[in-house]
């Protein structure tokens, strides 16, 4: 099994969105909150400046490396180490065995219609569910 480290950055559109809304909150702080609330307005505006700067740095800063994600890839035998520890059947953190046969068949159909499994995989699993009745 091989492990890879991957880092990611927020997208440019996400960064621009954060910067624009940060500027809106800075303006609200300067025009509305500082005159009305004094010290709290200064805190508000300082926080808005910090959040806006953080969005700009994460999206456009040259030295920013995003959070790391560790990915385990399959080894030569075709099984990953985490396969042994994982439950045999799971979907959305709910074991398929917790569903009745009708629910499992509906779940299987939705996976097939979403294109997440092939027709052969669908047929094989369907037969397995029906045999368990």
Instruction: Tell me the per-residue pLDDT of 95-110, one tens digit each, with 9 for 90 and over.
Output: 555 678 888 888 888 8
Sign of CA dihedral 95, 98, 100, 106: negative
- pLDDT at position 1, please? 58
SS3 91: strand
- Give the N- to C-terminal CA distance of the chain in Å, as an integer: 37
Q: Is the pTM of this model over 0.85?
A: no
Tokens of 22: 């940060």
Taking residues 110-118, what's their average pLDDT? 87
């Amino acid at each position: 099994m091989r492990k890879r480290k991957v880092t990611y950055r927020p997208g440019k559109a996400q960064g621009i969105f954060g910067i624009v809304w940060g500027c809106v909150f800075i303006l609200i702080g300067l025009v509305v909150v500082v005159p009305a609330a004094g010290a709290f307005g200064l805190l508000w505006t300082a926080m808005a400046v910090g959040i806006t700067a953080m969005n700009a740095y994460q999206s456009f800063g040259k030295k920013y490396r995003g959070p790391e994600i560790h990915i385990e890839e399959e080894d030569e035998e075709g099984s990953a180490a985490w396969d042994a520890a994982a439950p045999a059947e799971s979907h959305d953190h709910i074991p398929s065995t917790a569903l009745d046969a009708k629910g499992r068949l509906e779940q299987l159909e939705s996976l097939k219609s979403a294109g997440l499994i092939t027709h052969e995989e669908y047929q094989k699993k369907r037969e397995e569910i029906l045999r368990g009745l």
